[in-house]
Amino acid sequence: MRKLSKNLVPFAAGLIALSFGCAKFPQTGDNLLTKRLVFTAKLSGKVRTGLTGGQQPYIYVFALRLSTDANPRDRGPVPVTSFGGNGFVAGNCTHYVVFNPGSTNPYEIWQFQDTQLNNRFQTGVAINFEDPRGGGRPNILKFEIDMSQLVPAADVNSIQSVQCNILTMDRLALSSSGHDWDAFGDGNIVSQDNTFLTFQTKSTRTISNTQTQLEPSSEDVRGSNDPDLDLRDWSVEIRLQQ
């Protein structure tokens, strides 16, 4: 198990030139067969990878909180709305998947080691994914993970629910200068800053923004009107393996 710095969210600060092929979703051939989670996020603009135009990459995080409670009543993952902590996620969070444009497989799975959300280590990468850097749709982030990548396979059935959020930001909020960001909920309404999704994992199904209306159809980035940060649509598929 590879441990990386606890002080950095893993995304490419200094990018190297890579050659990217076609979209890699879906692929099969692995040996992970428990429960699958397929996440899709659609931006109003495009995924800011930092690979062209001299732009810094933006940060795109899928924050997760696994629970043995089917209906946890405490707060799930929420955005850092001003600054502080780790600079990208607050609330209760156990794992996250971050888009790292500097990696061949850009969807990296990380696990927190403490409830303060300061210490974390990488546990793996997505099994299948769509790549917005080349071959995939430039405004779509989509990947598939197996729940045995989050907890031991023997413990997967003990996980009754997942709380999640999709977080976009132009930089980490580690100082009073803050950052521009979007997440579940209307970013123009402060009372919705603690919005997150809770879903159970006992059956195969798909949950979407069309069903829940967690994310508005209008631009709602806090701090700017940048379409590359504006989360416009999303879905989560829970797939029980046969």
pLDDT in tens, 53-74: 788 999 999 999 999 999 999 9
User: Residue 23: its pLDDT value, please?
Assistant: 40
Residues 6+ apart with CB under 8 A from 14: 102
Tokens 């209307």 -> residue: 186
Domain edges within the chain:
36-240
pLDDT in tens, 140-169: 999 999 999 999 999 999 999 999 999 999
> Average pLDDT by consecutive 10-residue portion of the chain (242 residues)?
38 33 41 88 96 89 97 95 95 98 96 96 97 92 97 95 98 94 97 97 96 95 97 97 70
Q: What are phi and psi of 108, to 5 degrees?
A: -100, 135
Q: Do residues 66 and 34 lie in contact, with contact meaning Cβ atoms separated by under 8 Å? A: no
Q: pTM (2 decimals)?
A: 0.89
Residues 6+ apart with CB under 8 A from 35: 146, 147, 156, 201, 238, 239, 240, 241
